[in-house]
Amino acid sequence: MASFPFFGCWRRRFSGIAVSLRDSYKKAIPMKKMPDLEAWAIFAKVAELGSFARAAAEFSLSQATVSKAISRLEASMQTVLFHRTSRSMSLTESGQAALARAARILEEGRAVEADMAELSRSLRGPIRLAAPMSFGIPRLAPLFPEFMRLHPDVQLDVHFDDKLNDLVNDGYDLALRVSKLVDSSLLARQLCEVQIRLVGTPGYFARHGRPRHPRDLAGHRALLYTYSRSGTNWRFTHKTEGEYTHSPTVPLQINNAEALAPALMAGLGLALQPDFLCWKDLESGALQTVMEDWSVEPLALHLVTPPGRGKPARVRALIDYLADKLAREPWAQRPQGTL
114 and 137 share one domain: no
Per-residue pLDDT tens digits for 179-216: 776 666 678 888 888 999 999 999 999 999 999 999 99
CA 196 to CA 184: how far, in whole Å? 24
Of 68, 99, 121, which closes a domain? 121
117 and 152 share one domain: no
Of 121, 154, 185, which closes a domain? 121
Domain membership flag for residue 191: yes
Closest listed residue to residue 297, CA positions, set 212, 213, 194: 194
pTM of the model: 0.60
251 and 199 share one domain: yes
CB-based contact 233:245 (threshold 8 Å): yes
Number of domains in the chain: 2
Domain CATH code at residue 82: 1.10.10.10
233 and 296 share one domain: yes
133 and 236 share one domain: yes
279 and 299 share one domain: yes
317 and 198 share one domain: yes
179 and 326 share one domain: yes
Domain range for 54: 37-121
CB-based contact 65:39 (threshold 8 Å): no
Domain membership flag for residue 137: yes
Per-residue pLDDT tens digits for 260-295: 999 999 999 999 999 999 999 999 999 999 999 999
Domain membership flag for residue 223: yes
48 and 95 share one domain: yes
Share of the chain above pLDDT 90, in %: 48
Report the sign of the C-alpha dihedral through residues 128, 134, 135, 138, in that order.
positive
285 dihedral zone (left: phi>0; alpha: psi -120 to 50; beta): left
196 and 83 share one domain: no
Per-residue pLDDT tens digits for 38-90: 888 899 899 989 899 999 998 899 999 999 999 998 998 899 999 888 788 89
Per-residue pLDDT tens digits for 49-60: 989 999 999 889
Domain membership flag for residue 2: no
Of 86, 105, 121, which closes a domain? 121
Size of the chain, expressed as the number of residues it contains: 339
Question: How far, CA to CA in Å, does 122 sit from each of 114, 180, 322?
Answer: 12, 33, 18
166 and 296 share one domain: yes
Domain CATH code at residue 261: 3.40.190.290
Residue 42 φ then ψ, to 5°: -65, -45
134 and 272 share one domain: yes
